[in-house]
Each structure stands twice: as structure tokens, then as C-alpha cells.
Amino acid sequence: MDKDRIVGAAKEVKGAIEEAVGNVIGDAKMVADGKKDKVEGKAQNAIGSAKDIAKEALKK
């Protein structure tokens, strides 16, 4: 598993938590930052997934 997948997944979780806390305390900036982190994490996870697919294709 590529490092980008792990880091991306962690960033998604961090963003989800930050968004939820922001919603609870009514902090719009925290909600926005959490959403941004979730999107960045998904993108990084997708890049890692593409790297894994490419590595597997090269093994064949």
C-alpha cells in the first residue's frame, strides 16, 4: 500500500472530525477547514491508489 493512501485516509478522518467539531461548536471556519482537509485527503488517497495500480501493472 502506497504511503499516499495512508496519509490521505488519515487526513480524511482528521477533516471529518474537524468538520463535526466545528458544527457542534458553531465555528464556520473550522467546518470549512475540515471539509478542505477531507477533499485533500480523498485526492491524496486517490493518487496513492493510482500508484498502487501502476505498481501492480508493472509487476505483470
Range of the domain at 32: 3-59
Task: Give the number of domains in the chain.
Answer: 1
Return the pLDDT at 5. Answer: 95
Return the pLDDT at 12. Answer: 98
Helix orientation angle between 3-25 and 28-59, rounded to the nearest 10 degrees: 160
Residue 1 pLDDT more than 90? Answer: no
For the stretch 2-60, pLDDT in tens is 999 999 999 999 999 999 999 999 999 999 999 999 999 999 999 999 999 999 999 87
Tell me the C-alpha distance between 2 and 16, whole Å: 22
Tell me the C-alpha distance between 45 and 1, whole Å: 11
Asked if 14 contacts 58 with a C-beta cutoff of 8 angstroms, the reply is: no
Phi first, then psi, for residue 15 (nearest 5°) are -65, -40
Phi first, then psi, for residue 34 (nearest 5°) are -65, -45
